[in-house]
Chain A
């Protein structure tokens, strides 16, 4: 688990232990209403060795990297980079998160092709 935490720290270049959980990032996040867990909770999960919970959250994918959290953080932590690091770790696991064969024909017909292409690029190995 520590390896995974170190990986998040390395990829993001951030000291995760500097966060004192004030929640200012979550308060100002424009996408927070769509998230399943708060942005500060993402750091909390990593700090407390529950990285998989963070990796399995919707929050890291809803983050649009607008950097509002980053510019307001009193501890100078770039949370947007931590979100990106978690997405990277998720993607580098080389797992297919979407299987074309399991997508219903009706859905394929309804979805715009760009959504499908984007999904395959992001979500498949």
Chain B
């Protein structure tokens, strides 16, 4: 095939044109062998720019296109679609990156122009040998796995299930609901958290398309987009859910009391327990670490009393294997431990509590039935301090980021406290008030104007105990005066951190986390709910601290990404992957351990060892191609022959 290549040089406004003389690039390229057309334009990605390319393809019968513009990660797909619409195989179109690789990183215009010309020449050489390729078709299992049963996971599961697809929801705790179900009321509208969340929990529990595995964890994930295989471990709960009717007599009579996780240690639960009355599923599990039978070999009271014989001390772990096409990771958050903040007592003071503990004190279903009583002596506190940025915005000692929700929930706490204890005093210590959601600033103003919550701008330096009172040392930076305030109760707005154990899960999923342990999105702006691993999506605080409306929106976004996949008959995979020349391959196997995607393996074909390529798994990274000692491994459209021509174009005069 005779090459008839068109080169289109983009100005990218001033992004390229300021540093690279685009006219000079066009002039240098237009008579280059194989090039039949060269032209520049201010915004090649715009409608007129794309139209111009299509028009030139038709007029000059082009069969290859080079667009000299930004990074291929941005517009390779754009321009490949442009050429495909006028009948050119999209893999005959390549991007010469003269922005990120040239204009943005250089300042000398003459030198940058020379470099841009060289970049364009190499890509012309590549296109000359580019084959026409067809994307690889992959079947899809139209079923989703959602990991985590908080509001993010619940929303993602419901959206996907309501669209008609099966969902497997895995939650490691005995009930779904996450941290949201612990909250009393939610800012800025003060809806009762239980009232808005329990209907969704019940819907999940009864949904014909949702299979719920609580008290279970993801053990292993293999496969690839559209075709994941998941092993789920159902932990021993020692209660047969098929027999249990949830009557609760076992919990009533169990003699063991331990601090309740749901009540954040402010109340007790039994060793056989349902975390809270509205739990889904509303059936108990036995906490073997505290159960008398498991610890001492005596008791079995629950077994004797159970009317249906549901207690099963011999129950074994169960491993379930499921096939899914998409995975939504909604692993949520935890609060940074108070033990990390020595100057605030390090968790030693009973009446210095965290935000979730105060939620339970405010909750009508909490340990104090919604009466604010401090943990130490049950007294109703008359002065309460709320401290923001505890562990957040502290790159030196703790976490560098803003935890995003503390300003608002501490305002809500102060407001609700004032509603419960009108003669009490609520003081919020803050550095900056971040109230950037809909109705949030109005909410803060209401706390100040109507509820007379005092806001003091100054980070608390120390809290110490003095005769049963907590003394706060701070400064009011707005009046320039130091302060010492005695309080009955202190609520710390602790930093939000990723859920414990999430590191192990991300290794199984082969996805990334950032330096703070939050899940990394594929692109911070344009692909915020996807991971770099195709088919795995993100929702909720596992990715970054966020409030409930943002979490719900993101969860629906993640679900719609899964649904976008399920709406297709099959998936398409980039065909520019590794290939193996079976005649040359010696079966040495060097490529097998090098492949990060487990796409290479040794197979015996007609008695000969061959390192075959699983094209679906291959991401075209080129590791095996570089390592292959015989040259049997080649990458489509980036063959050795192409690489030689590309380097010759700029090294040999």
Contacts and interface: CB of A to CB of B under 8 A. Distances in A.
For chain A, which range describes its interface: under 10, 10 to 19, 20 to 34, or 35 or more residues?
A: 20 to 34
A47 B476 CA distance: 19
Given A24-B461, A27-B458, A27-B461, A32 B475 contact: yes
B393 A23 contact: no
Nearest to A24: B459
Contacts of A7: none
Interface residues of B, number: 24
Interface string B64-82: 0000000000000000000
Contacts of A15: none
A38 interface: yes
Given A22-B393, A22-B458, A74-B459, 9 more contacts: A23-B474, A23-B477, A27-B458, A29-B461, A33-B482, A37-B480, A72-B462, A74-B393, A75-B396
Contact of A73 (B396, B458, B481): B396
Contacts of B524: none
9 contacts: A21-B431, A23-B431, A24-B458, A26-B482, A27-B462, A27-B473, A32-B475, A33-B482, A72-B461
A76 B396 contact: yes
B397 interface: yes
A27 B431 contact: no
A54 to B, nearest CB: 14
B398 to A, nearest CB: 8
Contact of A40 (B393, B397, B473, B475): B475
Contacts of A75: 394-396
Contacts of A29: 461, 482
A13 interface: no
B352 interface: no
Contacts of B457: 23
A76 B393 CA distance: 12
Contacts of B460: 24, 27
Contact of A27 (B389, B475, B480): B475
A25 interface: yes
A8 B460 CA distance: 27
Given A27-B482, A38-B477, A40-B477, A22 B395 contact: no
Contacts of B482: 26-27, 29, 32-33, 38
Interface in B477-493: 477, 480-483
A38 B480 contact: yes
A41 B458 contact: no
Contacts of B477: 21-23, 26, 38, 40-41
Contacts of B261: none
Contacts of B322: none
A76 B395 contact: yes
Nearest to A73: B396
B339 interface: no
A20 interface: yes
Most chain B CB neighbours (cut-off 10 Å) among A26, A29, A73:
A26
A23 B431 CA distance: 8
B287 to A, nearest CB: 38
B458 to A, nearest CB: 4
Contact of A74 (B394, B462, B473, B476): B394
Contacts of B458: 22-24, 26-27
A25 B476 CA distance: 11
Contacts of B475: 23, 26-27, 32, 38, 40
Contacts of A41: 477, 480
B495 to A, nearest CB: 11
Nearest to B473: A27
Contacts of A20: 393, 431
Q: A-B pairs with the 7 shortest C-beta distances?
A: A28-B461, A27-B461, A26-B475, A76-B396, A74-B394, A23-B458, A22-B459
Contacts of A40: 475, 477
A106 B53 CA distance: 97
B473 A28 contact: yes
A47 to B, nearest CB: 13
Nearest to B394: A74
Interface string A39-78: 0110000000000000000000000000010001111100
A100 to B, nearest CB: 35
A73 B396 CA distance: 7
Interface in A64-115: 68, 72-76
B209 to A, nearest CB: 48
Contacts of A73: 396
Given A20-B431, A38-B475, A72-B343, A25 B480 contact: no
A5 to B, nearest CB: 21
B459 A23 contact: yes
Contacts of B483: 27
Nearest to B343: A72
A74 B461 contact: no
B474 A74 contact: no
Given A27-B474, A27-B475, A38-B475, A74 B480 contact: no
Nearest to B399: A74
Nearest to A21: B477
Contacts of A27: 458-462, 473-475, 482-483
Most chain B CB inside 10 Å of its own CB: which residue of A21, A32, A38, A74: A74
